[in-house]
Structure 1
Protein backbone atom coordinates (compact mmCIF):
# COMPACT_ATOMS: atom_id res chain seq x y z
CA UNK A 1 0.00 0.00 0.00
CA UNK A 2 1.42 3.38 -1.01
CA UNK A 3 1.68 6.36 1.32
CA UNK A 4 -1.04 8.98 1.24
CA UNK A 5 -0.77 12.75 1.68
CA UNK A 6 -2.24 12.61 5.17
CA UNK A 7 0.47 10.18 6.29
CA UNK A 8 2.98 13.01 6.58
CA UNK A 9 1.52 14.63 9.68
CA UNK A 10 1.25 11.18 11.29
CA UNK A 11 5.00 10.67 10.84
CA UNK A 12 5.56 13.82 12.90
CA UNK A 13 2.85 12.93 15.40
CA UNK A 14 4.55 9.59 16.05
CA UNK A 15 7.86 11.38 16.52
CA UNK A 16 6.31 13.69 19.12
CA UNK A 17 4.77 10.72 20.93
CA UNK A 18 8.13 8.99 20.88
CA UNK A 19 9.88 11.99 22.45
CA UNK A 20 7.18 12.40 25.08
CA UNK A 21 7.82 8.83 26.22
CA UNK A 22 11.18 9.89 27.63
CA UNK A 23 10.33 13.51 28.49
CA UNK A 24 12.43 15.20 25.83
CA UNK A 25 12.44 18.98 26.53
CA UNK A 26 10.28 21.13 24.25
CA UNK A 27 13.30 22.95 22.83
CA UNK A 28 14.81 19.65 21.74
CA UNK A 29 11.47 18.47 20.32
CA UNK A 30 11.30 21.53 18.08
CA UNK A 31 14.87 20.98 16.91
CA UNK A 32 14.17 17.33 16.12
CA UNK A 33 10.90 18.07 14.32
CA UNK A 34 12.54 20.66 12.06
CA UNK A 35 15.26 18.15 11.20
CA UNK A 36 12.65 15.47 10.54
CA UNK A 37 10.79 17.77 8.15
CA UNK A 38 13.91 17.89 5.99
CA UNK A 39 14.32 14.12 6.31
CA UNK A 40 10.71 13.46 5.30
CA UNK A 41 11.36 15.27 2.01
CA UNK A 42 13.73 12.43 1.08
CA UNK A 43 11.19 9.64 1.63
CA UNK A 44 9.81 7.71 -1.31
CA UNK A 45 6.08 8.48 -1.71
CA UNK A 46 5.45 5.10 -3.32
CA UNK A 47 6.66 3.28 -0.18
CA UNK A 48 4.13 2.07 2.37
CA UNK A 49 3.15 4.36 5.27
CA UNK A 50 4.51 1.72 7.65
CA UNK A 51 7.93 1.70 5.99
CA UNK A 52 8.23 5.48 5.87
CA UNK A 53 7.01 5.72 9.47
CA UNK A 54 9.73 3.27 10.46
CA UNK A 55 12.42 5.40 8.84
CA UNK A 56 11.16 8.53 10.59
CA UNK A 57 11.04 6.74 13.94
CA UNK A 58 14.53 5.31 13.59
CA UNK A 59 15.83 8.75 12.61
CA UNK A 60 14.10 10.18 15.69
CA UNK A 61 15.84 7.56 17.84
CA UNK A 62 19.15 8.80 16.45
CA UNK A 63 18.34 12.42 17.22
CA UNK A 64 17.33 11.67 20.83
CA UNK A 65 20.07 9.06 21.36
CA UNK A 66 17.67 6.36 22.56
CA UNK A 67 17.22 3.07 20.70
CA UNK A 68 14.03 2.04 22.53
CA UNK A 69 12.10 4.99 24.00
CA UNK A 70 8.97 2.82 24.40
CA UNK A 71 10.71 0.20 26.55
CA UNK A 72 9.06 1.11 29.86
CA UNK A 73 5.70 1.73 28.18
CA UNK A 74 5.81 -1.75 26.64
CA UNK A 75 6.50 -3.27 30.05
CA UNK A 76 3.53 -1.38 31.50
CA UNK A 77 1.27 -2.49 28.64
CA UNK A 78 2.23 -6.12 29.14
CA UNK A 79 1.60 -5.84 32.88
CA UNK A 80 -1.84 -4.29 32.36
CA UNK A 81 -2.84 -6.93 29.83
CA UNK A 82 -1.61 -9.80 32.01
CA UNK A 83 -3.79 -8.52 34.85
CA UNK A 84 -6.82 -8.72 32.56
CA UNK A 85 -5.86 -12.07 31.05
CA UNK A 86 -7.40 -14.58 33.54
CA UNK A 87 -10.90 -13.09 33.49
CA UNK A 88 -10.79 -12.59 29.74
CA UNK A 89 -9.58 -16.14 29.07
CA UNK A 90 -12.40 -17.49 31.22
CA UNK A 91 -14.98 -15.46 29.29
CA UNK A 92 -13.68 -16.71 25.95
CA UNK A 93 -13.47 -20.33 27.11
CA UNK A 94 -17.12 -20.30 28.23
CA UNK A 95 -18.39 -19.04 24.86
CA UNK A 96 -20.26 -21.32 22.47
CA UNK A 97 -17.72 -20.35 19.78
CA UNK A 98 -14.47 -19.73 21.63
CA UNK A 99 -12.48 -19.05 18.45
CA UNK A 100 -14.80 -16.22 17.43
CA UNK A 101 -14.67 -14.65 20.89
CA UNK A 102 -10.88 -15.02 20.97
CA UNK A 103 -10.66 -13.02 17.74
CA UNK A 104 -12.73 -10.27 19.35
CA UNK A 105 -10.45 -10.22 22.38
CA UNK A 106 -7.40 -10.13 20.12
CA UNK A 107 -8.61 -7.17 18.09
CA UNK A 108 -9.66 -5.27 21.23
CA UNK A 109 -6.01 -5.35 22.26
CA UNK A 110 -5.20 -3.41 19.08
CA UNK A 111 -6.26 -0.25 20.94
CA UNK A 112 -2.91 -0.36 22.77
CA UNK A 113 -1.21 1.82 20.16
CA UNK A 114 1.07 4.34 21.82
CA UNK A 115 2.35 5.82 18.56
CA UNK A 116 -0.78 7.73 17.58
CA UNK A 117 -3.41 7.24 20.30
CA UNK A 118 -1.83 7.26 23.74
CA UNK A 119 -5.10 7.53 25.67
CA UNK A 120 -7.15 4.36 25.64
CA UNK A 121 -9.66 2.50 27.79
CA UNK A 122 -9.02 -1.20 27.37
CA UNK A 123 -12.07 -2.23 29.42
CA UNK A 124 -14.30 -0.15 27.16
CA UNK A 125 -12.67 -1.58 24.04
CA UNK A 126 -13.18 -5.14 25.24
CA UNK A 127 -16.83 -4.46 26.04
CA UNK A 128 -17.34 -2.92 22.60
CA UNK A 129 -15.63 -5.83 20.84
CA UNK A 130 -17.71 -8.48 22.57
CA UNK A 131 -21.01 -6.58 22.27
CA UNK A 132 -20.76 -5.28 18.70
CA UNK A 133 -18.23 -7.53 16.99
CA UNK A 134 -16.89 -6.81 13.53
CA UNK A 135 -18.18 -4.18 11.12
CA UNK A 136 -16.78 -6.31 8.29
CA UNK A 137 -16.87 -9.95 9.32
CA UNK A 138 -15.27 -12.70 7.24
CA UNK A 139 -15.24 -15.12 10.15
CA UNK A 140 -17.18 -17.91 8.37
CA UNK A 141 -14.49 -18.05 5.67
CA UNK A 142 -11.69 -17.85 8.25
CA UNK A 143 -13.25 -20.64 10.30
CA UNK A 144 -13.54 -22.83 7.21
CA UNK A 145 -9.89 -22.31 6.26
CA UNK A 146 -8.69 -22.94 9.82
CA UNK A 147 -10.68 -26.17 10.03
CA UNK A 148 -9.20 -27.40 6.74
CA UNK A 149 -5.63 -26.31 7.47
CA UNK A 150 -2.88 -27.27 9.89
CA UNK A 151 -0.58 -24.27 10.19
CA UNK A 152 -1.63 -20.77 11.24
CA UNK A 153 0.66 -17.74 11.17
CA UNK A 154 -0.29 -14.83 13.42
CA UNK A 155 1.56 -11.62 12.58
CA UNK A 156 1.71 -9.77 15.88
CA UNK A 157 1.51 -6.06 16.49
CA UNK A 158 1.97 -4.29 19.82
CA UNK A 159 3.24 -5.13 23.28
CA UNK A 160 0.30 -5.57 25.63
CA UNK A 161 -1.81 -6.63 22.68
CA UNK A 162 0.35 -9.75 22.50
CA UNK A 163 -1.31 -10.97 25.73
CA UNK A 164 -4.74 -10.84 24.09
CA UNK A 165 -3.26 -12.71 21.13
CA UNK A 166 -2.22 -15.44 23.58
CA UNK A 167 -5.87 -16.30 24.10
CA UNK A 168 -6.34 -16.66 20.35
CA UNK A 169 -3.24 -18.85 20.07
CA UNK A 170 -4.38 -21.04 22.96
CA UNK A 171 -7.75 -21.63 21.31
CA UNK A 172 -6.01 -22.49 18.04
CA UNK A 173 -3.81 -24.95 19.93
CA UNK A 174 -6.87 -26.54 21.52
CA UNK A 175 -8.33 -27.31 18.09
CA UNK A 176 -5.07 -28.90 16.98
CA UNK A 177 -3.37 -26.15 14.99
CA UNK A 178 0.34 -25.37 14.88
CA UNK A 179 0.81 -21.65 15.41
CA UNK A 180 3.70 -19.41 14.37
CA UNK A 181 3.74 -15.96 15.94
CA UNK A 182 5.81 -13.25 14.24
CA UNK A 183 7.40 -10.45 16.27
CA UNK A 184 9.80 -7.66 15.37
CA UNK A 185 13.54 -8.32 15.23
CA UNK A 186 14.25 -5.17 17.23
CA UNK A 187 12.53 -2.23 18.93
CA UNK A 188 10.35 0.03 16.80
CA UNK A 189 7.49 2.03 18.31
CA UNK A 190 5.72 -0.19 20.88
CA UNK A 191 5.68 -3.27 18.66
CA UNK A 192 6.17 -6.64 20.32
CA UNK A 193 9.62 -8.23 20.20
CA UNK A 194 10.91 -11.64 21.26
CA UNK A 195 11.56 -10.20 24.72
CA UNK A 196 7.85 -9.36 25.02
CA UNK A 197 6.89 -12.83 23.77
CA UNK A 198 9.02 -14.42 26.47
CA UNK A 199 7.80 -12.01 29.15
CA UNK A 200 4.14 -12.92 28.55
CA UNK A 201 4.87 -16.63 27.85
CA UNK A 202 3.79 -16.52 24.21
CA UNK A 203 6.96 -18.47 23.46
CA UNK A 204 5.57 -21.41 25.48
CA UNK A 205 2.49 -21.86 23.29
CA UNK A 206 3.60 -20.75 19.81
CA UNK A 207 6.64 -20.90 17.58
CA UNK A 208 7.83 -17.31 18.01
CA UNK A 209 9.66 -16.06 14.92
CA UNK A 210 11.44 -12.73 14.52
CA UNK A 211 10.54 -10.82 11.37
CA UNK A 212 14.14 -10.17 10.43
CA UNK A 213 13.72 -6.39 10.56
CA UNK A 214 13.15 -3.69 13.18
CA UNK A 215 10.53 -2.09 10.96
CA UNK A 216 6.79 -1.57 11.29
CA UNK A 217 4.69 -4.14 9.49
CA UNK A 218 6.10 -6.94 7.35
CA UNK A 219 7.86 -5.16 4.47
CA UNK A 220 8.49 -7.93 1.95
CA UNK A 221 11.84 -6.59 0.77
CA UNK A 222 13.29 -6.47 4.30
CA UNK A 223 11.96 -9.45 6.27
CA UNK A 224 13.83 -12.74 6.54
CA UNK A 225 13.55 -15.61 4.08
CA UNK A 226 12.14 -17.69 6.93
CA UNK A 227 9.25 -15.25 7.37
CA UNK A 228 8.65 -15.06 3.63
CA UNK A 229 8.47 -18.85 3.46
CA UNK A 230 6.16 -19.04 6.47
CA UNK A 231 3.73 -16.57 4.94
CA UNK A 232 3.94 -18.22 1.52
CA UNK A 233 3.19 -21.72 2.83
CA UNK A 234 0.81 -21.12 5.76
CA UNK A 235 -2.74 -22.39 5.50
CA UNK A 236 -3.99 -19.26 7.26
CA UNK A 237 -2.35 -15.90 8.04
CA UNK A 238 -3.95 -13.63 10.64
CA UNK A 239 -2.49 -10.15 10.23
CA UNK A 240 -2.86 -7.85 13.25
CA UNK A 241 -3.00 -4.04 13.16
CA UNK A 242 -2.60 -1.27 10.63
CA UNK A 243 1.12 -1.50 9.84
CA UNK A 244 0.67 -5.14 8.83
CA UNK A 245 -2.48 -4.11 6.94
CA UNK A 246 -0.28 -1.71 4.96
CA UNK A 247 2.48 -4.21 4.13
CA UNK A 248 1.22 -7.80 4.05
CA UNK A 249 -0.68 -7.02 0.85
CA UNK A 250 2.71 -7.13 -0.91
CA UNK A 251 2.47 -10.93 -0.59
CA UNK A 252 0.03 -10.95 -3.49
CA UNK A 253 -0.08 -14.70 -4.12
CA UNK A 254 -1.40 -15.61 -0.66
CA UNK A 255 -4.13 -13.01 -0.11
CA UNK A 256 -6.84 -15.69 -0.24
CA UNK A 257 -5.34 -17.09 2.99
CA UNK A 258 -4.77 -13.73 4.72
CA UNK A 259 -7.24 -12.27 7.20
CA UNK A 260 -6.66 -8.72 8.41
CA UNK A 261 -7.73 -8.15 12.00
CA UNK A 262 -7.65 -4.55 13.19
CA UNK A 263 -9.39 -1.46 14.43
CA UNK A 264 -9.76 1.23 11.75
CA UNK A 265 -7.98 4.17 13.38
CA UNK A 266 -6.82 6.19 10.37
CA UNK A 267 -9.45 8.76 9.37
CA UNK A 268 -8.06 9.29 5.88
CA UNK A 269 -7.80 5.58 5.12
CA UNK A 270 -11.33 5.06 6.42
CA UNK A 271 -12.60 7.67 3.96
CA UNK A 272 -10.59 6.29 1.06
CA UNK A 273 -11.60 2.65 1.55
CA UNK A 274 -15.13 3.40 2.80
CA UNK A 275 -14.49 1.85 6.20
CA UNK A 276 -16.28 3.06 9.29
CA UNK A 277 -13.68 4.84 11.41
CA UNK A 278 -13.27 3.24 14.81
CA UNK A 279 -14.84 -0.02 13.67
CA UNK A 280 -13.37 -3.48 14.15
CA UNK A 281 -12.64 -5.35 10.95
CA UNK A 282 -11.96 -8.98 10.06
CA UNK A 283 -11.50 -8.98 6.29
CA UNK A 284 -10.07 -11.53 3.88
CA UNK A 285 -7.15 -10.41 1.72
CA UNK A 286 -8.92 -11.00 -1.59
CA UNK A 287 -11.89 -8.94 -0.45
CA UNK A 288 -9.56 -6.19 0.72
CA UNK A 289 -7.87 -6.23 -2.68
CA UNK A 290 -11.25 -5.77 -4.37
CA UNK A 291 -12.04 -2.89 -2.03
CA UNK A 292 -8.74 -1.18 -2.80
CA UNK A 293 -9.25 -1.59 -6.54
CA UNK A 294 -12.74 -0.14 -6.25
CA UNK A 295 -11.96 2.86 -4.04
CA UNK A 296 -8.28 3.51 -3.40
CA UNK A 297 -7.01 3.27 -6.96
CA UNK A 298 -9.54 5.66 -8.48
Structure 2
Protein backbone atom coordinates (compact mmCIF):
# COMPACT_ATOMS: atom_id res chain seq x y z
CA UNK A 1 0.00 0.00 0.00
CA UNK A 2 1.16 3.54 -0.70
CA UNK A 3 1.43 6.27 1.91
CA UNK A 4 -1.13 9.03 2.34
CA UNK A 5 -0.54 12.49 3.80
CA UNK A 6 -1.80 11.18 7.16
CA UNK A 7 1.12 8.75 7.35
CA UNK A 8 3.47 11.71 7.90
CA UNK A 9 2.36 12.65 11.42
CA UNK A 10 1.95 8.95 12.22
CA UNK A 11 5.59 8.29 11.31
CA UNK A 12 6.67 11.17 13.54
CA UNK A 13 4.52 9.93 16.42
CA UNK A 14 6.04 6.48 16.11
CA UNK A 15 9.53 7.98 15.90
CA UNK A 16 9.04 9.98 19.11
CA UNK A 17 7.58 6.96 20.87
CA UNK A 18 10.39 4.64 19.76
CA UNK A 19 13.01 7.22 20.77
CA UNK A 20 11.46 7.65 24.22
CA UNK A 21 11.51 3.89 24.66
CA UNK A 22 15.07 3.58 23.37
CA UNK A 23 17.01 6.20 25.31
CA UNK A 24 16.89 8.91 27.97
CA UNK A 25 19.64 10.87 26.23
CA UNK A 26 17.91 14.08 25.11
CA UNK A 27 20.81 15.19 22.91
CA UNK A 28 20.79 11.82 21.14
CA UNK A 29 17.03 12.08 20.62
CA UNK A 30 17.52 15.49 19.03
CA UNK A 31 20.22 14.15 16.75
CA UNK A 32 18.11 11.16 15.66
CA UNK A 33 14.92 13.15 15.08
CA UNK A 34 16.91 15.50 12.85
CA UNK A 35 18.04 12.45 10.86
CA UNK A 36 14.44 11.29 10.63
CA UNK A 37 13.31 14.70 9.34
CA UNK A 38 15.98 14.43 6.66
CA UNK A 39 15.02 10.85 5.83
CA UNK A 40 11.34 11.72 5.47
CA UNK A 41 12.17 14.83 3.47
CA UNK A 42 14.01 12.64 0.97
CA UNK A 43 11.63 9.67 0.95
CA UNK A 44 8.12 10.76 1.93
CA UNK A 45 6.34 11.35 -1.36
CA UNK A 46 3.38 10.20 -3.39
CA UNK A 47 3.77 6.57 -4.44
CA UNK A 48 6.14 5.63 -1.62
CA UNK A 49 5.58 2.23 -0.02
CA UNK A 50 4.35 2.65 3.56
CA UNK A 51 5.93 -0.50 5.00
CA UNK A 52 9.36 0.11 3.51
CA UNK A 53 9.38 3.70 4.74
CA UNK A 54 8.36 2.76 8.27
CA UNK A 55 10.83 -0.11 8.38
CA UNK A 56 13.74 2.11 7.32
CA UNK A 57 12.79 4.73 9.90
CA UNK A 58 12.70 2.23 12.77
CA UNK A 59 15.96 0.68 11.58
CA UNK A 60 17.57 4.11 11.73
CA UNK A 61 16.34 4.63 15.30
CA UNK A 62 17.68 1.26 16.44
CA UNK A 63 21.04 1.84 14.81
CA UNK A 64 21.46 5.36 16.20
CA UNK A 65 20.36 4.55 19.75
CA UNK A 66 21.88 1.08 20.00
CA UNK A 67 18.56 -0.24 21.33
CA UNK A 68 17.73 -3.44 19.44
CA UNK A 69 14.20 -3.84 20.81
CA UNK A 70 12.65 -0.51 21.92
CA UNK A 71 9.22 -2.06 22.49
CA UNK A 72 10.40 -4.92 24.70
CA UNK A 73 8.45 -3.73 27.75
CA UNK A 74 5.42 -2.92 25.62
CA UNK A 75 5.42 -6.49 24.32
CA UNK A 76 5.22 -7.71 27.91
CA UNK A 77 2.41 -5.25 28.58
CA UNK A 78 0.55 -6.51 25.50
CA UNK A 79 0.80 -10.09 26.73
CA UNK A 80 -0.45 -9.07 30.17
CA UNK A 81 -3.50 -7.34 28.67
CA UNK A 82 -4.26 -10.34 26.44
CA UNK A 83 -3.92 -12.81 29.30
CA UNK A 84 -6.15 -10.64 31.49
CA UNK A 85 -8.95 -10.86 28.95
CA UNK A 86 -8.36 -14.48 27.95
CA UNK A 87 -10.92 -15.83 30.48
CA UNK A 88 -13.53 -13.43 29.05
CA UNK A 89 -12.99 -14.54 25.48
CA UNK A 90 -12.88 -18.21 26.44
CA UNK A 91 -16.23 -17.74 28.16
CA UNK A 92 -17.65 -16.34 24.92
CA UNK A 93 -16.39 -19.39 23.04
CA UNK A 94 -17.96 -21.71 25.59
CA UNK A 95 -21.30 -20.06 24.80
CA UNK A 96 -20.73 -19.94 21.03
CA UNK A 97 -18.01 -22.20 19.61
CA UNK A 98 -18.59 -21.08 16.02
CA UNK A 99 -15.81 -20.43 13.53
CA UNK A 100 -17.03 -16.85 13.22
CA UNK A 101 -16.59 -16.24 16.93
CA UNK A 102 -13.05 -17.64 16.84
CA UNK A 103 -12.25 -15.31 13.94
CA UNK A 104 -13.78 -12.35 15.76
CA UNK A 105 -11.69 -12.94 18.86
CA UNK A 106 -8.51 -13.29 16.82
CA UNK A 107 -9.28 -9.92 15.23
CA UNK A 108 -9.96 -8.36 18.62
CA UNK A 109 -6.47 -9.47 19.54
CA UNK A 110 -5.23 -7.31 16.65
CA UNK A 111 -6.26 -4.25 18.70
CA UNK A 112 -3.16 -4.86 20.83
CA UNK A 113 -1.00 -2.80 18.49
CA UNK A 114 1.28 -0.16 19.97
CA UNK A 115 2.25 0.88 16.46
CA UNK A 116 -1.27 2.19 15.91
CA UNK A 117 -2.18 3.27 19.46
CA UNK A 118 -0.19 5.62 21.64
CA UNK A 119 1.24 4.45 24.93
CA UNK A 120 -1.38 6.52 26.76
CA UNK A 121 -4.40 5.04 25.00
CA UNK A 122 -6.78 2.96 27.12
CA UNK A 123 -6.33 -0.22 25.08
CA UNK A 124 -8.16 -2.33 27.66
CA UNK A 125 -11.36 -0.28 27.25
CA UNK A 126 -11.15 -0.65 23.48
CA UNK A 127 -10.88 -4.43 23.80
CA UNK A 128 -13.78 -4.59 26.23
CA UNK A 129 -16.08 -2.62 23.91
CA UNK A 130 -14.93 -4.61 20.88
CA UNK A 131 -16.02 -7.86 22.48
CA UNK A 132 -19.59 -6.60 22.03
CA UNK A 133 -19.17 -5.72 18.33
CA UNK A 134 -19.85 -7.83 15.27
CA UNK A 135 -17.57 -8.12 12.25
CA UNK A 136 -18.24 -5.42 9.65
CA UNK A 137 -17.00 -7.59 6.78
CA UNK A 138 -17.11 -11.32 7.30
CA UNK A 139 -16.36 -13.63 4.39
CA UNK A 140 -16.90 -16.49 6.80
CA UNK A 141 -18.48 -18.92 4.35
CA UNK A 142 -15.61 -18.54 1.88
CA UNK A 143 -13.16 -18.88 4.76
CA UNK A 144 -14.72 -22.14 5.90
CA UNK A 145 -14.74 -23.44 2.33
CA UNK A 146 -10.99 -22.79 2.18
CA UNK A 147 -10.46 -24.57 5.48
CA UNK A 148 -12.30 -27.56 4.06
CA UNK A 149 -10.62 -27.57 0.64
CA UNK A 150 -6.94 -27.14 1.56
CA UNK A 151 -4.59 -29.45 3.42
CA UNK A 152 -2.20 -26.75 4.67
CA UNK A 153 -2.23 -23.07 5.61
CA UNK A 154 0.36 -20.34 6.18
CA UNK A 155 -0.59 -18.14 9.15
CA UNK A 156 1.16 -14.74 9.25
CA UNK A 157 1.02 -13.49 12.84
CA UNK A 158 1.25 -9.85 13.83
CA UNK A 159 1.72 -8.57 17.37
CA UNK A 160 2.89 -9.94 20.66
CA UNK A 161 -0.18 -10.02 22.88
CA UNK A 162 -2.36 -10.64 19.85
CA UNK A 163 -0.79 -14.08 19.47
CA UNK A 164 -2.41 -15.12 22.77
CA UNK A 165 -5.80 -14.76 21.03
CA UNK A 166 -4.45 -16.30 17.81
CA UNK A 167 -4.04 -19.56 19.70
CA UNK A 168 -7.81 -19.81 20.03
CA UNK A 169 -8.32 -19.52 16.27
CA UNK A 170 -5.43 -21.92 15.61
CA UNK A 171 -7.15 -24.43 17.89
CA UNK A 172 -10.27 -24.15 15.74
CA UNK A 173 -8.30 -24.46 12.49
CA UNK A 174 -6.73 -27.69 13.76
CA UNK A 175 -10.23 -29.19 13.87
CA UNK A 176 -10.27 -28.99 10.06
CA UNK A 177 -7.16 -31.19 9.83
CA UNK A 178 -4.85 -28.68 8.15
CA UNK A 179 -1.09 -28.58 8.57
CA UNK A 180 -0.28 -25.11 9.92
CA UNK A 181 2.87 -23.08 9.32
CA UNK A 182 3.16 -19.99 11.52
CA UNK A 183 5.39 -17.13 10.34
CA UNK A 184 7.04 -14.62 12.70
CA UNK A 185 9.54 -11.78 12.33
CA UNK A 186 13.26 -12.53 12.45
CA UNK A 187 14.21 -9.25 14.17
CA UNK A 188 12.30 -7.00 16.61
CA UNK A 189 10.16 -4.28 15.05
CA UNK A 190 7.54 -2.39 17.06
CA UNK A 191 5.69 -5.01 19.12
CA UNK A 192 5.59 -7.64 16.37
CA UNK A 193 6.03 -11.26 17.43
CA UNK A 194 9.46 -12.85 16.96
CA UNK A 195 10.46 -16.48 17.51
CA UNK A 196 11.05 -16.19 21.30
CA UNK A 197 7.65 -14.51 21.71
CA UNK A 198 5.91 -17.23 19.71
CA UNK A 199 7.63 -19.99 21.69
CA UNK A 200 6.75 -18.31 24.99
CA UNK A 201 3.11 -18.14 23.89
CA UNK A 202 3.15 -21.82 22.91
CA UNK A 203 2.41 -21.33 19.21
CA UNK A 204 4.69 -24.25 18.39
CA UNK A 205 1.92 -26.51 19.76
CA UNK A 206 -0.18 -25.70 16.69
CA UNK A 207 2.25 -25.98 13.80
CA UNK A 208 5.71 -25.33 12.40
CA UNK A 209 7.21 -21.97 13.40
CA UNK A 210 9.23 -20.19 10.69
CA UNK A 211 10.89 -16.79 10.41
CA UNK A 212 10.29 -14.48 7.47
CA UNK A 213 13.96 -13.53 7.33
CA UNK A 214 13.70 -9.86 8.30
CA UNK A 215 12.35 -7.42 10.88
CA UNK A 216 10.13 -5.14 8.81
CA UNK A 217 6.91 -3.28 9.48
CA UNK A 218 4.45 -5.83 8.17
CA UNK A 219 5.33 -7.76 5.02
CA UNK A 220 7.95 -6.29 2.68
CA UNK A 221 8.42 -8.62 -0.27
CA UNK A 222 11.89 -7.37 -1.17
CA UNK A 223 13.21 -8.10 2.35
CA UNK A 224 12.02 -11.66 3.03
CA UNK A 225 14.52 -14.52 2.92
CA UNK A 226 14.78 -17.01 0.06
CA UNK A 227 13.77 -19.75 2.51
CA UNK A 228 10.58 -17.96 3.46
CA UNK A 229 9.79 -17.04 -0.14
CA UNK A 230 9.80 -20.74 -0.96
CA UNK A 231 7.42 -21.40 1.95
CA UNK A 232 5.18 -18.52 0.85
CA UNK A 233 5.12 -19.68 -2.77
CA UNK A 234 4.31 -23.25 -1.72
CA UNK A 235 1.18 -22.18 0.17
CA UNK A 236 -1.96 -21.31 -1.74
CA UNK A 237 -4.01 -20.77 1.44
CA UNK A 238 -2.78 -17.87 3.59
CA UNK A 239 -4.22 -16.17 6.68
CA UNK A 240 -2.81 -12.68 7.19
CA UNK A 241 -3.17 -10.89 10.53
CA UNK A 242 -2.98 -7.14 10.97
CA UNK A 243 -2.68 -3.92 8.99
CA UNK A 244 1.05 -4.16 8.30
CA UNK A 245 0.74 -7.48 6.50
CA UNK A 246 -2.26 -6.13 4.57
CA UNK A 247 -0.26 -3.07 3.49
CA UNK A 248 2.62 -5.20 2.25
CA UNK A 249 0.75 -8.08 0.66
CA UNK A 250 -1.48 -5.79 -1.39
CA UNK A 251 1.71 -4.61 -3.15
CA UNK A 252 2.28 -8.01 -4.79
CA UNK A 253 0.39 -10.33 -7.13
CA UNK A 254 -1.88 -12.61 -5.09
CA UNK A 255 -3.99 -13.89 -7.96
CA UNK A 256 -2.95 -17.50 -7.35
CA UNK A 257 -3.58 -17.34 -3.59
CA UNK A 258 -6.53 -18.06 -1.36
CA UNK A 259 -5.68 -15.25 1.08
CA UNK A 260 -7.76 -13.88 3.94
CA UNK A 261 -7.07 -10.72 5.88
CA UNK A 262 -8.06 -10.53 9.54
CA UNK A 263 -7.64 -7.07 11.02
CA UNK A 264 -9.05 -4.11 12.84
CA UNK A 265 -8.97 -0.93 10.73
CA UNK A 266 -7.04 1.31 13.09
CA UNK A 267 -6.15 4.23 10.82
CA UNK A 268 -7.95 6.36 8.25
CA UNK A 269 -5.58 5.44 5.40
CA UNK A 270 -6.30 1.72 5.82
CA UNK A 271 -10.03 2.33 6.30
CA UNK A 272 -10.26 4.32 3.08
CA UNK A 273 -8.20 1.80 1.13
CA UNK A 274 -10.49 -1.07 2.15
CA UNK A 275 -13.69 1.00 2.11
CA UNK A 276 -14.75 0.63 5.74
CA UNK A 277 -15.01 2.78 8.84
CA UNK A 278 -12.35 3.40 11.45
CA UNK A 279 -12.19 0.61 14.08
CA UNK A 280 -14.23 -1.82 11.97
CA UNK A 281 -13.23 -5.47 12.44
CA UNK A 282 -12.83 -7.40 9.21
CA UNK A 283 -12.42 -10.87 7.74
CA UNK A 284 -12.22 -10.60 3.98
CA UNK A 285 -10.84 -12.50 1.03
CA UNK A 286 -8.59 -10.56 -1.34
Q: Normalising by structure 1, what TM-score? A: 0.87
Structure 2 unaligned regions, length at least 5: none
> Which deviates more from structure 2 when the two are superposed, residues 7-16 or residues 186-195?
7-16
Aligned to 2:263: 262
**1:184 positional shift:** 0.3
User: Which residue in 1 is equivalent to 2:85?
Assistant: 84
- Runs of 4+ in structure 1 displaced over 6 angstroms? none
Unaligned runs of 5+ in 1: 286-298
Q: Distance in 2 between matches of 1:107 and 1:240?
A: 8
Q: How many residues align?
A: 283
Take 1:42 and 1:2, find their aligned partners in 2: how far apart are those partners? 16
Deviation track 1:211-246 (CA, whole Å, cap 9, x = no partner) reads 111111121111123322333332421111111011
Preserved CA contact (<8 Å) 2:182 2:210: yes
Q: What's the CA shift for 1:182?
A: 0.9
Q: Is residue 64 from structure 1 mapped to residue 84 from structure 2 by the alignment?
A: no
Instruction: Tell me the SS of whatever aligns to 1:282.
Output: strand
Instruction: Name the counterpart of 2:134.
Output: 133
Aligned to 1:107: 107
SS in 2 for 1:67: coil
CA contact (8 A) 1:260 1:282 kept: yes
User: Closer, same or farther in 2 for the Cα pair 1:96/1:187, shift >3 Å?
Assistant: closer
The 5-angstrom pairing of residues 9-24 of structure 1 reads 9-22=9-22, 24=24
CA distance in 1: counterparts of 2:157 and 2:114, whole angstroms: 15
The Cα offsets for residues 101-129 of structure 1, whole Å up to 9 and x where unpaired, read as: 11111111111111231324336425424
1: distance between equivalents of 2:271 and 2:233?
A: 28
**Counterparts of 2:137 and 2:264 in 1: how far apart (Å)?**
11
Residues 177, 120 of structure 1: CA spacing in aligned structure 2 closer, same or farther, 3 A cutoff? farther
2:200 corresponds to which residue? Answer: 199
1-structure distance, mates of 2:178, 2:129: 28
Shift of 1:36: 0.6
CA RMSD, aligned part only? 2.2
Equivalent positions of 1:4-43 (< 5 A) are: 4-22=4-22, 24=24, 28-43=28-43
Q: Which residue of 1 aligns with 2:145?
A: 144
Which structure carries more helix by proportion? 1
CA gap of 1:127–1:224, structure 2 versus 1, over 3 A, is same
Evaluate the alpha carbon distance shift between residue 232 and residue 133 of structure 1 in structure 2; reply closer, same or farther with a 3 A threshold.
farther
Distance 1:127 1:101, change over 3 A: farther
Assess, with a 3 A threshold, how the Cα gap between structure 1 residues 84 and 128 changes in structure 2: closer, same or farther: closer
Higher-RCO chain (CA-CA 8 Å, sequence separation at least 6): 2
Question: What do residues 77-101 of structure 1 show as CA deviations (whole Å, max 9, x unaligned)?
Answer: 223323433442343254241x211
Q: TM-score, normalised by structure 2?
A: 0.90
Contact 1:155 1:238 (8 Å CA) reproduced = yes
For 1:36 and 1:194, locate their aligned partners in 2 and report how far apart those are by CA, in whole Å: 29
Cα deviation, residue 254, structure 1: 4.2
Deviation at 1:17, TM superposition (A): 1.4
Q: The residue matched to 1:169 in structure 2 has which SS?
A: helix
Which residue is equivalent to 2:123? 121
Q: Is the 8 A contact 2:116 2:267 kept in 1?
A: no
